[in-house]
Amino acid sequence: METIFTTSNIMFTIGIITLLFSIWSKVKTPQESIERKQSLDALATEKDKLLAEKDLGTKATILVQKELETKVLVLAEQVKNKDVENERRFNEMGLCLDTAMTTAQNHIHTVDVKVDKLIESVNLMGNKITELSTIINERIPKKT
Protein backbone atom coordinates (compact mmCIF):
# COMPACT_ATOMS: atom_id res chain seq x y z
CA MET A 1 0.00 0.00 0.00
CA GLU A 2 1.33 3.33 -1.01
CA THR A 3 1.10 6.35 1.31
CA ILE A 4 0.49 9.93 0.23
CA PHE A 5 2.88 11.32 2.84
CA THR A 6 6.14 10.76 1.07
CA THR A 7 9.00 13.22 1.18
CA SER A 8 8.55 14.29 -2.43
CA ASN A 9 4.78 14.83 -1.97
CA ILE A 10 5.35 16.95 1.14
CA MET A 11 8.04 19.02 -0.62
CA PHE A 12 5.78 19.48 -3.64
CA THR A 13 2.88 20.67 -1.40
CA ILE A 14 5.17 23.11 0.45
CA GLY A 15 6.41 24.45 -2.89
CA ILE A 16 2.84 24.98 -4.18
CA ILE A 17 1.84 26.75 -0.94
CA THR A 18 4.95 28.97 -1.10
CA LEU A 19 4.23 29.81 -4.75
CA LEU A 20 0.59 30.68 -3.98
CA PHE A 21 1.63 32.80 -1.00
CA SER A 22 4.20 34.76 -3.05
CA ILE A 23 1.65 35.40 -5.82
CA TRP A 24 -0.90 36.52 -3.26
CA SER A 25 1.55 38.90 -1.56
CA LYS A 26 2.58 40.38 -4.97
CA VAL A 27 -1.07 41.05 -5.78
CA LYS A 28 -1.94 42.36 -2.34
CA THR A 29 1.01 44.74 -1.83
CA PRO A 30 0.27 47.00 -4.84
CA GLN A 31 -3.40 47.06 -3.87
CA GLU A 32 -2.48 48.24 -0.36
CA SER A 33 -0.13 50.85 -1.81
CA ILE A 34 -2.88 52.17 -4.08
CA GLU A 35 -5.33 52.28 -1.17
CA ARG A 36 -2.79 54.11 1.01
CA LYS A 37 -2.08 56.63 -1.76
CA GLN A 38 -5.79 57.23 -2.31
CA SER A 39 -6.32 57.71 1.44
CA LEU A 40 -3.44 60.20 1.61
CA ASP A 41 -4.77 62.07 -1.43
CA ALA A 42 -8.23 62.21 0.12
CA LEU A 43 -6.77 63.49 3.40
CA ALA A 44 -4.75 66.14 1.57
CA THR A 45 -7.85 67.27 -0.37
CA GLU A 46 -9.86 67.35 2.85
CA LYS A 47 -7.09 69.32 4.54
CA ASP A 48 -7.09 71.86 1.69
CA LYS A 49 -10.87 72.21 2.00
CA LEU A 50 -10.60 72.71 5.74
CA LEU A 51 -7.89 75.36 5.30
CA ALA A 52 -10.04 77.19 2.76
CA GLU A 53 -13.06 77.04 5.04
CA LYS A 54 -10.89 78.17 7.93
CA ASP A 55 -9.70 81.19 5.97
CA LEU A 56 -13.27 82.07 5.04
CA GLY A 57 -14.64 81.53 8.51
CA THR A 58 -11.87 83.10 10.58
CA LYS A 59 -13.79 86.27 11.36
CA ALA A 60 -16.96 84.36 12.20
CA THR A 61 -14.93 81.98 14.32
CA ILE A 62 -13.37 84.86 16.25
CA LEU A 63 -16.81 86.39 16.89
CA VAL A 64 -18.24 83.06 18.01
CA GLN A 65 -15.20 82.45 20.20
CA LYS A 66 -15.57 85.84 21.88
CA GLU A 67 -19.27 85.21 22.42
CA LEU A 68 -18.50 81.81 23.93
CA GLU A 69 -15.85 83.33 26.18
CA THR A 70 -18.38 85.90 27.37
CA LYS A 71 -20.92 83.17 28.07
CA VAL A 72 -18.29 81.15 29.91
CA LEU A 73 -17.41 84.14 32.07
CA VAL A 74 -21.08 84.76 32.86
CA LEU A 75 -21.62 81.10 33.71
CA ALA A 76 -18.49 81.05 35.86
CA GLU A 77 -19.74 84.09 37.76
CA GLN A 78 -23.15 82.44 38.23
CA VAL A 79 -21.51 79.26 39.54
CA LYS A 80 -19.33 81.30 41.89
CA ASN A 81 -22.42 83.17 43.19
CA LYS A 82 -24.27 79.88 43.69
CA ASP A 83 -21.29 78.47 45.60
CA VAL A 84 -21.22 81.52 47.87
CA GLU A 85 -25.00 81.27 48.41
CA ASN A 86 -24.79 77.54 49.15
CA GLU A 87 -21.96 78.09 51.62
CA ARG A 88 -23.99 80.78 53.38
CA ARG A 89 -26.99 78.44 53.58
CA PHE A 90 -24.86 75.60 54.94
CA ASN A 91 -23.40 77.93 57.57
CA GLU A 92 -26.91 79.04 58.58
CA MET A 93 -28.04 75.41 58.76
CA GLY A 94 -25.00 74.59 60.89
CA LEU A 95 -25.79 77.42 63.30
CA CYS A 96 -29.43 76.35 63.52
CA LEU A 97 -28.37 72.76 64.15
CA ASP A 98 -25.90 73.86 66.85
CA THR A 99 -28.60 75.95 68.51
CA ALA A 100 -31.07 73.05 68.36
CA MET A 101 -28.50 70.66 69.87
CA THR A 102 -27.67 73.11 72.68
CA THR A 103 -31.36 73.62 73.44
CA ALA A 104 -31.98 69.87 73.42
CA GLN A 105 -29.05 69.28 75.78
CA ASN A 106 -30.34 72.02 78.11
CA HIS A 107 -33.79 70.44 78.16
CA ILE A 108 -32.34 66.99 78.82
CA HIS A 109 -30.26 68.37 81.69
CA THR A 110 -33.34 70.11 83.15
CA VAL A 111 -35.36 66.89 82.92
CA ASP A 112 -32.50 64.95 84.56
CA VAL A 113 -32.40 67.42 87.46
CA LYS A 114 -36.17 67.22 87.90
CA VAL A 115 -36.11 63.40 87.80
CA ASP A 116 -33.33 63.38 90.43
CA LYS A 117 -35.44 65.67 92.66
CA LEU A 118 -38.49 63.42 92.18
CA ILE A 119 -36.44 60.34 93.10
CA GLU A 120 -35.17 62.12 96.19
CA SER A 121 -38.72 63.16 97.12
CA VAL A 122 -40.01 59.63 96.60
CA ASN A 123 -37.23 58.26 98.83
CA LEU A 124 -38.06 60.82 101.53
CA MET A 125 -41.75 59.97 101.30
CA GLY A 126 -40.90 56.25 101.50
CA ASN A 127 -38.90 56.92 104.66
CA LYS A 128 -41.75 59.01 106.14
CA ILE A 129 -44.30 56.33 105.30
CA THR A 130 -42.12 53.71 106.99
CA GLU A 131 -41.75 56.01 110.02
CA LEU A 132 -45.51 56.63 110.17
CA SER A 133 -46.22 52.93 109.78
CA THR A 134 -43.90 52.20 112.70
CA ILE A 135 -45.60 54.84 114.87
CA ILE A 136 -49.06 53.53 113.99
CA ASN A 137 -48.06 49.94 114.75
CA GLU A 138 -46.67 51.00 118.14
CA ARG A 139 -49.75 52.98 119.21
CA ILE A 140 -52.38 50.59 118.08
CA PRO A 141 -52.09 47.31 119.95
CA LYS A 142 -52.53 44.23 117.92
CA LYS A 143 -55.53 42.09 118.70
CA THR A 144 -54.77 38.49 119.20
The helix-helix angle for 58-139 and 7-56 (nearest 10°) equals 100
User: In angstroms, rounded to a whole number, what is the distance separating the alpha carbons of residues 79 and 85?
Assistant: 10
Mean pLDDT of 76-105: 90
| Residue pLDDT, tens place only, 32-62 | 677 777 777 777 677 766 666 666 567 667 7
Higher pLDDT, 142 or 83: 83
The per-residue pLDDT for 106 is: 92
% of the chain with per-residue pLDDT over 90: 29
The per-residue pLDDT for 36 is: 73
The per-residue pLDDT for 2 is: 65
DSSP state letters, 52-114: HHHHHTHHHHHHHHHHHHHHHHHHHHHHHHHHHHHHHHHHHHHHHHHHHHHHHHHHHHHHHHH
| Residue pLDDT, tens place only, 104-134 | 899 999 999 999 999 999 999 999 999 998 8
pLDDT-derived band at 19 (thresholds 50, 70, 90) equals confident
What's the pTM?
A: 0.39
**Residue 47 DSSP one-character state:** H
